[in-house]
Amino acid sequence: MGNSFGKLFRISTFGESHGKGLGVIIDGCPAGLKIDEEYIRNEMQRRKPGQSKITTQRKEEDEFQILSGVFEGKSTGTPIGMVIMNTDQKSKDYGHIADKFRPSHADYTYQEKYGIRDYRGGGRSSARETSARVAAGAIAKLMLKHFGISIQAYVSQVGDLKLEKSYLDLDLDQTENNIIRCPDPVMAEKMIDFIDEIRKSRDTVGGVVSCVAKGVPPGLGEPVFDRLNAELGKAMLSINAVKGFEYGSGFEGVKMRGSEHNDIFYTEGDKVKTRTNYSGGIQGGISNGEDIYFKVAFKPVATIMIDQESVNEVGESVTVSGKGRHDPCVVPRAVPIVEAMGALVLADYLLISRANKL
Amino acid sequence: MGNSFGKLFRISTFGESHGKGLGVIIDGCPAGLKIDEEYIRNEMQRRKPGQSKITTQRKEEDEFQILSGVFEGKSTGTPIGMVIMNTDQKSKDYGHIADKFRPSHADYTYQEKYGIRDYRGGGRSSARETSARVAAGAIAKLMLKHFGISIQAYVSQVGDLKLEKSYLDLDLDQTENNIIRCPDPVMAEKMIDFIDEIRKSRDTVGGVVSCVAKGVPPGLGEPVFDRLNAELGKAMLSINAVKGFEYGSGFEGVKMRGSEHNDIFYTEGDKVKTRTNYSGGIQGGISNGEDIYFKVAFKPVATIMIDQESVNEVGESVTVSGKGRHDPCVVPRAVPIVEAMGALVLADYLLISRANKL
Amino acid sequence: MGNSFGKLFRISTFGESHGKGLGVIIDGCPAGLKIDEEYIRNEMQRRKPGQSKITTQRKEEDEFQILSGVFEGKSTGTPIGMVIMNTDQKSKDYGHIADKFRPSHADYTYQEKYGIRDYRGGGRSSARETSARVAAGAIAKLMLKHFGISIQAYVSQVGDLKLEKSYLDLDLDQTENNIIRCPDPVMAEKMIDFIDEIRKSRDTVGGVVSCVAKGVPPGLGEPVFDRLNAELGKAMLSINAVKGFEYGSGFEGVKMRGSEHNDIFYTEGDKVKTRTNYSGGIQGGISNGEDIYFKVAFKPVATIMIDQESVNEVGESVTVSGKGRHDPCVVPRAVPIVEAMGALVLADYLLISRANKL
Amino acid sequence: MGNSFGKLFRISTFGESHGKGLGVIIDGCPAGLKIDEEYIRNEMQRRKPGQSKITTQRKEEDEFQILSGVFEGKSTGTPIGMVIMNTDQKSKDYGHIADKFRPSHADYTYQEKYGIRDYRGGGRSSARETSARVAAGAIAKLMLKHFGISIQAYVSQVGDLKLEKSYLDLDLDQTENNIIRCPDPVMAEKMIDFIDEIRKSRDTVGGVVSCVAKGVPPGLGEPVFDRLNAELGKAMLSINAVKGFEYGSGFEGVKMRGSEHNDIFYTEGDKVKTRTNYSGGIQGGISNGEDIYFKVAFKPVATIMIDQESVNEVGESVTVSGKGRHDPCVVPRAVPIVEAMGALVLADYLLISRANKL
């Protein structure tokens, strides 16, 4: 279990890195939504490997096919089934790790849990799995767009290089203008150079993706357990390599006094607004109509090009050598994944919020 | 919806701060577990208000009653129903905020979402709701104990006062020896003084609770969406006032290189171990048998004793005056809540891990 | 697990026959619904024992208390917690069956499943459990009434005495006018006499409850698995002693030709109607706006006043003697239970149907 | 929503009759199960159209492909994704019903619910959807076989032709020996002749499928709502054209006295057995180790070759003419579908039963 996400706008995914294919079922997409395949394709492109010198050179075409749930260009309300066939599967590349546990990968835990695993490219634990999320997330984004909601992520930190500016002082439309997906061009340059250096040293580094959702109406979120922030947190922590999540003032907020941190209400026309937004657009687990923003921490990629000690399935000491084509830093490609998962949560909670009314 | 948590060890809660009572149903507690009511009572005491000079002086007795699911001292496998009646409900204290939106509380969002709210003491959004979680969590802890698993939380930061030591260098059994619940006595003293100062200034401050689970077997966690870390994150983010969650190396880990961050495997007897534990005991969303540790950020309490501007339900400017008996810092009382939610996740995932086997 | 029902209008129940109390949490009742406690009390009265000479003479007062989720007479959208304390628990009556498996009761299966059981009065498997369903169902009925939907059940068969008339030829408002709850006064009389005779012979007999829902709008039901008829079937089959469910033409319909059975469409104003209703108001798993009707088969009550052979927990032959106060036929008291479960399904599906729209 | 079934052994399906393809994800199949593709293919053959003169002559090859979750012939514990591409889609056949509501089909209700529908061949409401169930059910049956559990269905009634014998007096291994799938050769002959006659009259007729599961251990079922019989009932009622479900003594049992109907316990070695089995192997919602048996009523197929009155989407009177290739009676092809859904329930509940133990 564990391969479905969402309640009313619900996805279920399948697929391994080097199996025949991956896919997703979206159950609960409202009928009548225009399904723009070009838009979905573009989202897939943003995630796919081989985009630039700072991402893996592995080629995956990520061609998706919609098998059901769309008729004459529109969603019908029935499940949308999508498949992405695997093509460039250099399975032989993985023979050398068939029985070894790569450090800080999921090899050991899958073996312990299931007693069997498809070791090729990490199998189900491969980041390739996120392609299905991005495909589904693209449809969620189309639905959100219909309701006037946008979601945009960007890279705000790579290693020690941290963008201190608030998203309010950035032009998020610049994000796609550089290969690191940082909307500050100066910082972007620095980050790219830094990752390139890391890559040359055959090592990897972590980073942070920030994300902002605008136009979210008040009322989304289901306390006490299914708070909007709790579900966003779960969504983000379900992405490979994520180690932390914070929203609004986050970990920094703990240092503040209540008198500084409280967001004062005022009215603008007939709208209730807040003067600051340390709440990150969510109060008591429910959206308040302000921008929702949050940060997601990604650890350094576990696959490095440096030899490492480890053990194999029978407990013998072995050396794991870096091989294949991997990312020195995951964050540029994580940007569309964070958006996808965020969009899935918002789409789901938007539908929920419309149900429980007299 | 949103008031249930867990899949196989599942709780559903109800209750407002100033209604007749609160309660919880635990559905899925295995039969035959010795239900130690004294232990549950003790856990409730750790959460309850009025414990010390640095917590609210409000008195809530938090007497629980088990109505079902226990026979001759043991769980029967049927739902355990528990109620906690409200007694010290000074509802009149809340007349002054009946139609006002207190800054950074859930007053506005509940009003927007539901169109009606029990304003007394925050109603459902009150931290009083967590008493039901602690009651259920105590039973989860009893079950975990049966399987040799422990979970212990402690205060690791208040405002700027941050305990830099790893949990490995602390004696966690010291945690309950001081009123701030910090296992380092020197830091505990500083934190207590600091909170006392904050309290006198009629303000509030945030903090961080750290938590460690030991004895968790490898194999808990259900990728790709229901990773153990994702569910722990959701559990923590569902607690009032929480703004962030990180596990293992967390946000700091993003600065590291893969070559430093990777946890090298070795064998000890027939056990596979890791030399470091930046993974926080979870790899690929599945426990690996090492200690699980994580941190939870709590914002400063929103109720301050200082006048604040706000608006009321009809959009007029109003002043909200601090009144009543509130915590200057939530973290000492949050320690048992973090443990309870962590225990509920582990109990649930432990049961799940036993099902899907041939 | 297994003690929750519904998705958006969701109930969770707890409680044993002779424990301290029973209860239910309703999570998802829309805010702003007037909660008429008198109405709920009346529904509870219809289910409670001791109503007439043909039901058990056991006295249970079934006094419920609403602990949360209602403020100033209206639902607040937060969970409604209700408890029903047990009072007339003659636990000593059950000493004689403490280790015996009563034939066709759940004693053996609970013992096998859980390894422990509260044998007093059947514990969790007692029909007393349905009091919580009726309490929750009453609130569902209040919500349905708000939307112009009614649900009415009645006894249509006791033993061989079968009411052949369609519900269309009955005045369902007569149902509550007699103690058997059959809207045909002549048949009612026969059924009452028959049950009385059965009672005197210290035996029991089965029966059928029919149910009709009017005013259900088209569009309720979630194919392919969560068809409206499938969920109604599950709801009914979850009631104690139920052995069968059919809707529309049911088992009789299999004998018909398609050309007879098909319900021909026509229009009445701008409404699409069907000339016959063998579909029972549901086509393709979705309500079509016609009356929904179904039948529920109840087996003879397992507790008889006649000695029976059996075995005990250690496998020895024993005699089970009938003792205590039991129903000779369950159907008159099952009428409000069938309505309650039907109302819960319709309330849930009504909310769901409002969510998945653009 | 509504396109997933099961809790721990959970399937999600997608696909329309005349879209690109159908498919299913199985999430929760235990790792290490030998996946016998030949066996799955054989199950698919039993369901597919064009098998004999009494089923539709439509050709669908029902070639499935496993895309994930299986490695070197065994399940890996990760989701098993399967697709069945549509090939023989004579979409033009359906132009004549594009805007008409066929009587007793789901055309009207889908249109009302979703506002849009893929009218070709019934779209999602087509029985073609059940091919994905049979594929998944085949894997469930493989798992059950591993645990010594079998499930076998057969046709027990067509129109008025009713097999009065109990399954105990039949040789169920004869079922596949004739095209109607009735294990009594004499009755089989009669049924086949009768259906052939119905077919010639361009009409259709209903029938009943009976099903028996053997080897089910005691303890499966999750009262109070998720009783084993309730979930079996839901599973069966989720199949196209099903109008009723009964288990054990069913609707006939209502006529019996408690003293006849009660299943007397005795011991055989250290096993507790019952002398009769009116309970149908389930007591209190939990399996008791005896054979589980139940019946499923199927209405006459709605598509007839006779002209019928109806209305179209704008409410005009129209004539619907029978066209295409359809079944005169659904039951022979329903046999493997009933088995598949039954197997999915048993597989799921078997896994659940193993979790909630100390």
Cα first-last separation, chain A: 35
Q: Binding site for FMN: residue ranges of D?
A: 124-126, 240-241, 284, 299-303, 325
Q: CA-to-CA distance for B26 and C15, rounded, in angstroms? A: 11
Per the rule left: phi > 0, alpha: psi between -120 and 50, beta: everything else, A305 is: alpha
Are the CB atoms for D103 and D302 separated by under 8 Å? yes
* Residue-wise DSSP of A103-145: TTSSHHHHHHHHS----GGGGGGSGGGHHHHHHHHHHHHHHHH
For chain A, give the percent of residues with pLDDT over 90. Answer: 89
Which residue shows structure tokens 């830094």? Answer: A194
Q: How confident is the model at residue A305 (pLDDT cuts 50, 70, 90)?
A: very high
Mean pLDDT confidence for C221-241: 98
Residue C93 predicted with pLDDT over 90: no
State chain B's mean pLDDT as an integer. 95
CA-based nearest residue to A241, from A300, A156, A328, A182: A300
pLDDT of residue B93: 67
Chain centre to alpha carbon of residue A193: 24
Q: CA-to-CA distance for C18 and C117, rounded, in angstroms? A: 12
B82-96 b/e (C-beta count within 10 Å ≥ 16 → b): bbbbbeebeeeebee
Q: How many domains does chain D have?
A: 1
Residues B4-31: tens digit of each pLDDT: 999 999 999 999 999 999 999 999 999 9
Mean pLDDT confidence for B54-62: 75
Looking at the partner chain, which of A2, A81, A124 has a beta carbon nearest the beta carbon of D23?
A81
Which residue shows structure tokens 């947190």? Answer: A233
Q: Do B4 and C27 touch (CB under 8 A)?
A: yes
Residue A82 predicted with pLDDT over 70: yes
Q: CA-to-CA distance for B159 and C176, rounded, in angstroms? A: 66
Q: Binding site for NADP(+): residue ranges of B?
A: 47, 53
* Chains touching C, CB cut-off 8 Å, 3+ pairs: A, B, D
Residues D227-278: tens digit of each pLDDT: 999 999 999 999 999 999 999 999 999 999 999 999 999 999 999 999 999 9
pLDDT of residue D54: 82
Mean pLDDT confidence for B138-149: 98
Q: Give the range with max mean pLDDT: A313-327, C10-24, D75-89.
A: C10-24
Residues A201-252: tens digit of each pLDDT: 999 999 999 999 999 999 999 999 999 999 999 999 999 999 999 999 999 9
| Residues of chain D in Cβ contact (below 8 Å) with chain B | 7-8, 28-33, 77, 143, 146, 351-352, 354-358
Residues D169-218: tens digit of each pLDDT: 999 999 999 999 999 999 999 999 999 999 999 999 999 999 999 999 99
pLDDT of residue A276: 98
pLDDT of residue C77: 97
Q: CA-to-CA distance for C3 and C13, rounded, in angstroms? A: 6
Q: Binding site for NADP(+): residue ranges of D?
A: 47, 53
Q: Binding site for FMN: residue ranges of B?
A: 124-126, 240-241, 284, 299-303, 325
Q: How confident is the model at residue C51 (pLDDT cuts 50, 70, 90)?
A: confident
Residues C133-192: tens digit of each pLDDT: 999 999 999 999 999 999 999 999 999 999 999 999 999 999 999 999 999 999 999 999
* Residue-wise DSSP of D297-353: EEPPPS--SS-EEEEBTTS-EEEEPP-S---S-SHHHHHHHHHHHHHHHHHHHHHHH
Domain span including residue B119:
4-355
Q: Which residues of D touch A8 (CB under 8 A)?
A: 1
Residue C321 predicted with pLDDT over 80: yes
pLDDT of residue B175: 97
pLDDT of residue B209: 98
Residues C79-89: tens digit of each pLDDT: 999 999 998 65
**What are the residues whose beta carbons fall under 8 Å from the beta carbon of C308, sequence distance 6 or more?**
C102, C103, C319, C320, D259, D262, D264
Q: Do B110 and A259 touch (CB under 8 A)?
A: no
Mean pLDDT confidence for B322-341: 92
State chain A's mean pLDDT as an integer. 95
* Chains touching D, CB cut-off 8 Å, 3+ pairs: A, B, C
Mean pLDDT confidence for A151-179: 97
pLDDT of residue D357: 86
Is A202 known as a binding-site position? no
Q: Do B351 and D352 touch (CB under 8 A)?
A: no
CATH number of the domain encompassing residue D139: 3.60.150.10
> How many Cβ atoms are within 10 Å of B303's Cβ, its own excluded?
24
State chain C's mean pLDDT as an integer. 95
Residue A92 predicted with pLDDT over 70: no
Residue C224 predicted with pLDDT over 70: yes
Q: CA-to-CA distance for B257 and B278, rounded, in angstroms? A: 12
Tell me the shortest Cα–Cα distance from B34 to chain D, in angstroms: 11
Q: Do A106 and B304 touch (CB under 8 A)?
A: no
**What are the residues whose beta carbons fall under 8 Å from the beta carbon of C23, sequence distance 6 or more?**
B23, B25, B67, B68, B81, B83, C13, C14, C15, C81, C82, C83, C84, C132
Q: CA-to-CA distance for B12 and C4, rounded, in angstroms? A: 9
Structure letter (DSSP) for residue B33:
-
pLDDT of residue D356: 83
Tell me the shortest Cα–Cα distance from D84 to chain B, in angstroms: 24
Give the C-alpha distances (Å, rounded to integers) separating B107 from A280, A285, B22. 16, 11, 20
Interface predicted TM-score (ipTM) of this complex, two decimals: 0.97
Tell me the shortest Cα–Cα distance from A141 to chain C, in angstroms: 13
Tell me the shortest Cα–Cα distance from B114 to chain C, in angstroms: 6
Residue A91 predicted with pLDDT over 90: no
Helix (H) or strand (E) holding D213: strand D207-214
Looking at the partner chain, which of A8, A31, A68 has a beta carbon nearest the beta carbon of D115?
A31
Looking at the partner chain, which of B7, B146, B352 has a beta carbon nearest the beta carbon of D358?
B146
Helix (H) or strand (E) holding C49: none
